[in-house]
Amino acid sequence: MPRSNRPRRRPAVPRSQRDAAQAREELDDFSPERVLAGFARLESAPDGEWRVRQVTTRNAAKDYTCPGCSRVIPPGTAHLVVWADDHLFGEAAGIAERRHWHTHCWRTRTYRYR
């Protein structure tokens, strides 16, 4: 019997089953860490108001120098991005001066950063 160059048709799957399978895949992929990673929380401290965003190991792709300990944060290390929320020259200037901190360094910092 000669071969056909046409691809075989897959058996038809009812639409409701396809939608249910897709919804299950999306739920399996849900991770609270991934959802919260993009949001910056507001922290109040004696040295001002700070926006703090967590960077996951998956999203940490470059080397950064932590201002708390002056050591390198290597790629693939979870850390924090911090910027001043109450910057003198506005929000854009605060974001432009953001810094990457080790999580431990940020939590145990002395308030001499500014």
Please list the pLDDT of the chain residue by residue as tens digits (114 residues): 566 677 666 666 556 665 666 655 555 555 555 555 568 889 888 888 899 999 988 888 899 999 999 999 999 999 999 998 887 887 788 888 889 999 999 999 877 655
Enter the pTM of the model: 0.63
Cα separation, 62 vs 49, in Å, equals 26
Cα separation, 90 vs 84, in Å, equals 9
